[in-house]
Each structure stands twice: as C-alpha cells, then as structure tokens.
Structure 1
Amino acid sequence: MTDRQNSFYTSISRYYSDIFPFNPMQLAFVKAKLKTLEEKTILDIGCATGELAFQLASQGAKVTGIDLNADLLQQARQNRKHQNLSFLMGNMLELKNDFSHRQFDAVLCFGNTLVHLNSEKEVLQMLQNARAVLKPGGQLLLQILNYDYICSHPVRELPIIETDAIKFIRYYNFSDDTDLIGFETRLEIKAENRTVANETPLLALKSAALKTLIKNAGFKNIQVYANFKQEAFGGAHLPLVVSCEG
C-alpha cells in the first residue's frame, strides 16, 4: 500500500463500515468453497474493520485478519472481539515471512484489495506468497472489480453509496500510458456538512492476466465468477470473483 493509499483509508476509516457494510454473500461463498467453517484456519487479507473475519470466526473458523492501515485495525480490535479471531498489521507481499508454511486452509483477499499493488509482478509475488502459506489443496479466494468491463467502455463512475450518515461518490480517471488508473472519491459526511476528497492509484488488472498469474503461481482448478453467487463471468457487471486451489 502506498502512502497515498494509506492516507485514503485513514481519511475514511471512521465511516468504513457505513460505506462497506458486511456482505452476507461473501460469507456464503467462503462456506460453499470450504464446505464447513468449523476448525478451518483462514487468513483474511485486507480485513479492514473485521466484519467478514468476525462472521467467519463466529461460525467456527480460526481467523487471522491482516491490514496495513492502523486506523482500520484499531476499529477491528475494539469492535470485533472473538476468541477465534486475531488482527495483525501485515503486508500481502510478506506472507511467507509473517506466517508458517502450509498454515491455512483458506486465504481470502476481497474488496478490490489485490489491485492496490502496483504491478503484475507484485501480484505474482502475492500469489506465490499465498500458495506458500496454504495447506495442500487449500483455497485461495479473491474478489476485485471487473476491469475488462470497466476499461473497455470505459466506466468512469461507480454506483454512489449513500446512507443516512454518508454519501460516497467514486470516479475513475484513465491514462493511456500506464496500467494504473486514478480512483477518485468524495465522502460527504452529512452531520458535519463536510467532504473528504481523495485520489489513489489502482492496478487495472484484467481477467486473462489475472488467470495467467494465478496459474504461474502454481494454483489449479481456477474458477472465475461474476459475483459471490458464482454466476458466469462476462459482460456488464462490476465484480470479478475467483476461486482456486493450492
């Protein structure tokens, strides 16, 4: 995570759970892939405020959540306490150094976290690290946005997220000379009549490139979906969801 990305998440951390509330379909997807959560060891990369990690732990999994943003981790530790759950400061490029070989039954990386890396080389490094800490046959589960669709149209504005407390507006700024795109946001905090504006770079990682990187990292049984319901990938949809085995 770059300094700019870290500053972005710090600036919205107080309202993160309003912007990105727990999505029950993520939990259902993990359960479907693992068959059972009881006694499963799971690493949640980019855990943020710990909503998904807490739900997994509550259903019997032993979960470690990592994130690079101290403000988000503080909220997770304060608000999502469970005996099966721990939160650590951790970098997805350093998994082999931070965890034991073949430690986890599953590694999760949801919420468009993967594309905060700066290059396909870094993505491959992350995938190789994930495979190293997975048990044989363990599941790597990913979710980013569908940059095939976003870049081909191009999609310049994502759906607005609005609650009684906030309004979150998101734009993409494209450039012809880089694979990075500018992710521009405006968070309107209604009670304070205040707006927090940011722009952070994201890697526009297409599905074919992602599948190649996953294969090159040594994973098998690679499945790509349009959403956590496991519907067929392709066309005008925003999510890109992947499952594969180590």
Structure 2
Amino acid sequence: MAFYTDISVVYDDLFPVSPEQRAMLESLREDGGVRSVVDCGCGTGAQLMPFATAGLSCLGFDPDPSLVAIARRKLATYPKTRIEQGSFADLRRLSSFHSDLLLCLGNSLVHVPGEEAGRFLSAASAVLSPGGTLLLQTLNYQRLFRERVTELPLIRTRDGSVEFHRRYQWESERKVLFRTSLRLPAAGEPRVVRNEIVLHPLYPEELREMLAAAGFIEIRFFGDFARADFHPGSEALVCLARKA
C-alpha cells in the first residue's frame, strides 16, 4: 500500500524510541536473563537494537514489506538477528523458536479482533520459555471509549516537515475506524496520504483475563514506559507479564 511505503521513510522520525522505553528494554535485557527476543510487529526494528547489539538471538516480523526492508538493512550486521514479513499475530512460524522475551508494542494488538488477540496471547505463551516475559503496549481504550475521543495528539517530526494526523470514529465499544493522514513535504503544496483501518479495542480487565487464561502470571499494568501507576485516565497501557 502506498500509505505504508510513504510512512516507512519517516517512521523512525515520527516514532522514535523514547528514553523511557529504551530504559525499560535495557532493564529487561540486563535483569531478566534474556538470551532470545521476539518482536511481533517490529516495524523498522528499532526496539530490537538494544538486544541485537548485545549479541542476543532476535527475531522480528511485521506485515509491511517496506518496514521489513528497513529493519533488515538496519540489523543486517547482526548475524543472530532475523527479520521476516508476516502478520504479527501469526506465531505458528515460531513453533521451533523459544524466546525469553516477547514484545508486542505500538498498539499492535488491537489491529486484530478480540478472539484473535486471545489466540495470539496463547501462542505467545507457548513461544516463551518458562519464566519468560511478555511486554505489551496499547492505548488505554477504557479512557478513549469513556471520553469518546475522536482525535489523538498530532505527531510531527522534530523539524516540523512531516505531520501525522490520527482520528477515531467509534462504531461501537468493539469497533473503531482509525483514519490517518500523513502530510509530507513536496514541491508546492504538501502531499497528503490518507488511510483507514478498523481497530478492535481491548480493555484493561479483559486483557488481564486473557493473559491469565493464556498462562501468564505476575501481570502488571503501567501507565507508561517509566512504570507510572496505571489508572483510568492513563493514556497508555503498558503490561509486563511472566509465563508460569
């Protein structure tokens, strides 16, 4: 799709790894005895870098070929890292791969219906080694639905040359149309690339139940990557869970 081809070029500028996210990833690497990592919906591979540079076995996959191509170039010098194209929720490819840490970030999980999200969590549990960790991040749909939020904060590159506008149209508690427009610099008027997809909101307590049903314990919710307490007004839901 033209939208993903266009956004892939500016993806890292629009969605840089924050210092808080980097600190959490590095703490998991240093404190969790991690030897192998899977990133489901890896984008350009930025979140795998702290692990690849430390010599860990890394596997990332993403459905978009443009993002996969960038991730492969970025991580090409790390022989223990592999990037594949495919749906983030399809973990059947990992039947022979065992991981100590599984990442699912960037609000990826709500791109599939609830029952598929449940299957993904069960498959993630099967991929993880005993005691392995799942790091999951979505938006806080409890707040978004309660307030019927229709527009998310504008994202722009540091120099202001690229803008990413995001709007929600709520069809029901379980379905929201996610409309985006990407404004790119061009000769004359800026070029605008529009896209629309369906998202399937997940709410905190049902996510907790799904994780428990999938065999996860020590399920902890935070409001951000700095591990602030999660509360109904939190913008994000960051979850750490351990496989039993």
Q: Which amino acid aligns with 1:90?
A: G
When residues 45 and 123 of structure 1 are mapped into structure 2, their CA distance, relative to the original with a 3 A threshold, is same
- The alignment of Structure 1 onto Structure 2 pairs a total of residues equal to 238
Pair 1:223 & 2:217 matched: no
Instruction: Report the 3-state secondary structure (helix = DSSP H, G, I; strand = E; otherwise coil) of the residue aligned with 1:72.
Output: helix
Instruction: Report the 3-state secondary structure (helix = DSSP H, G, I; strand = E; otherwise coil) of the residue aligned with 2:43.
Output: coil
Instruction: Report the 3-state secondary structure (helix = DSSP H, G, I; strand = E; otherwise coil) of the residue aligned with 2:234.
Output: coil
Kindly report which structure 2 residues correspond to 1:49-128, keeping only aligned pairs within 5 A, or say none: 49-83=44-78, 84-95=80-91, 97-100=92-95, 103-117=98-112, 119-128=113-122
Kindly report which structure 2 residues correspond to 1:1-246, keeping only aligned pairs within 5 A, or say none: 8-36=3-31, 40-83=35-78, 84-95=80-91, 97-100=92-95, 103-117=98-112, 119-163=113-157, 164=159, 165-176=161-172, 179-192=174-187, 193-246=190-243
When residues 35 and 203 of structure 1 are mapped into structure 2, their CA distance, relative to the original with a 3 A threshold, is same
Is the Cα–Cα contact under 8 Å of residues 176 and 198 in structure 2 kept in the other structure?
A: yes
Instruction: Report the 3-state secondary structure (helix = DSSP H, G, I; strand = E; otherwise coil) of the residue aligned with 1:175.
Output: strand
Which sections of structure 2, spanning at least 5 residues, go unmatched? none
Measure the CA separation in 2 of the matches of 1:219 and 1:8.
36
Measure the CA separation in 2 of the matches of 1:222 and 1:198.
34
Instruction: Report the 3-state secondary structure (helix = DSSP H, G, I; strand = E; otherwise coil) of the residue aligned with 1:205.
Output: coil
Using the TM superposition, give the Cα deviation of residue 111 of structure 1 relative to its aligned residue in structure 2, in angstroms: 0.4
Structure 1, 124-133 or 18-27: larger mean CA deviation: 18-27
TM-score by length of 2: 0.90
Q: 1:153-172 deviations in whole A, cap 9, x for unaligned?
A: 12111111112230111111
Is the Cα–Cα contact under 8 Å of residues 188 and 194 in structure 1 kept in the other structure?
A: yes
Instruction: Report the 3-state secondary structure (helix = DSSP H, G, I; strand = E; otherwise coil) of the residue aligned with 1:191.
Output: coil
Instruction: Report the 3-state secondary structure (helix = DSSP H, G, I; strand = E; otherwise coil) of the residue aligned with 1:74.
Output: helix
Using the TM superposition, give the Cα deviation of residue 202 of structure 1 relative to its aligned residue in structure 2, in angstroms: 0.8
When residues 8 and 122 of structure 1 are mapped into structure 2, their CA distance, relative to the original with a 3 A threshold, is farther
Using the TM superposition, give the Cα deviation of residue 38 of structure 1 relative to its aligned residue in structure 2, in angstroms: 7.3
Instruction: Report the 3-state secondary structure (helix = DSSP H, G, I; strand = E; otherwise coil) of the residue aligned with 1:31.
Output: helix
Structure 1, 124-133 or 26-35: larger mean CA deviation: 26-35
Aligned equivalent of 1:3: none
Using the TM superposition, give the Cα deviation of residue 59 of structure 1 relative to its aligned residue in structure 2, in angstroms: 3.0
Q: 1:35-68 deviations in whole A, cap 9, x for unaligned?
A: 4477620001111111111232113432111111
Is the Cα–Cα contact under 8 Å of residues 8 and 200 in structure 1 kept in the other structure?
A: no
Is the Cα–Cα contact under 8 Å of residues 40 and 89 in structure 2 kept in the other structure?
A: no
Measure the CA separation in 2 of the matches of 1:180 and 1:59.
40
Give the alignment's Cα RMSD to 1 decimal: 2.0
Is the Cα–Cα contact under 8 Å of residues 25 and 50 in structure 2 kept in the other structure?
A: no
Measure the CA separation in 2 of the matches of 1:61 and 1:23.
21
Measure the CA separation in 2 of the matches of 1:162 and 1:128.
36
Structure 1, 159-168 or 137-146: larger mean CA deviation: 159-168
Is the Cα–Cα contact under 8 Å of residues 34 and 139 in structure 1 kept in the other structure?
A: no
When residues 29 and 17 of structure 1 are mapped into structure 2, their CA distance, relative to the original with a 3 A threshold, is same
Percent identity reads: 34
Is the Cα–Cα contact under 8 Å of residues 26 and 50 in structure 2 kept in the other structure?
A: no
